[in-house]
Structure 1
């Protein structure tokens, strides 16, 4: 075989260069497509996240309002329970005073053995 001529060498070099360029273009196109796909996904996910953030803020406001209503109801209930406790204390004080009066009247009248409807002694 004879040695390749300059034109054949140039042709082989051009073919090799074309093959490398085509290979690089193919790799570049593949990476570009992948990056475009990722970019599109990021943009669509960003829009979905923004929508979810708005919905979350809306729901948080609703929950805050409901929490405030429940706190108000709790405060009213606590106040009512305190009032009931105050009424019970008042009733117990009245009952003690009545027992003292009943015992005093019983001692004054000298009726030690009689029972009353309350079971504490006679009037």
Structure 2
């Protein structure tokens, strides 16, 4: 009897290692498919609304960058023109200062002539023998003939 029990096979099966341990996925029902499609449509719609706003902002940024580049070029041109005008005005100011210095030289020259004429007048008076006359203004005593 011993030999009969050894020859019998066991009814308990051991799974082999090649078999998958995950249970098979059930097919989605029609309601689940419709719900999944609705959720995906909702997400797609929300994504488009956000992306369109961002695309609008990106377009504005690019157009503003182009406008800023144009304004920068105009500013550089205006700065160069202003520098030229400033140099021109600086030359005019230097010329005016030089002319004023020249005018000061003319004034100095006129004062020196006036002193020389006063000395000549005093010399002529002494030569002619006239008495010294007091002058309030300190001006000339030239006499018209």
TM-score between both structures, scaled by the size of structure 1: 0.79
Q: How does 1:18-29 map to 2 (within 5 A)?
A: 18-29=37-48
Contact conserved, 2:118 with 2:140, CA < 8 A, in 1? no
In the aligned structure 1, how far is the partner of 2:142 from the partner of 2:69?
79
3-state SS in 1 of match to 2:130:
coil
Q: Does 1:65 align with 2:84?
A: yes
Unaligned 5+ segments in structure 1 are: 1-5
Aligned residue-pair number: 113
Helix, strand or coil: the match of 2:131? Answer: coil
> 1:42 and 1:101 mapped to 2: Cα distance?
86
Counterpart of 1:17 (choices 36, 42, 45) is: 36
**1:60-91 Cα shifts (integer Å, max 9, x gaps):** 10011011000001100110111011111111
Equivalents in 2 of 1:109, 1:119: separation in Å? 16
Q: Which residue of 2 aligns with 1:120?
A: 141
Question: Which whole-Å CA distance do the structure 2 matches of 1:121 and 1:112 have between them?
Answer: 14
Aligned 8 A contact 1:102 1:121 in 2: yes
* TM norm structure 2: 0.68
Indicate the structure with greater helix content: 1
Q: Distance in 1 between matches of 2:132 and 2:77?
A: 75
- State the alpha-carbon separation in 2 of the partners of residues 93 and 29 from structure 1: 93
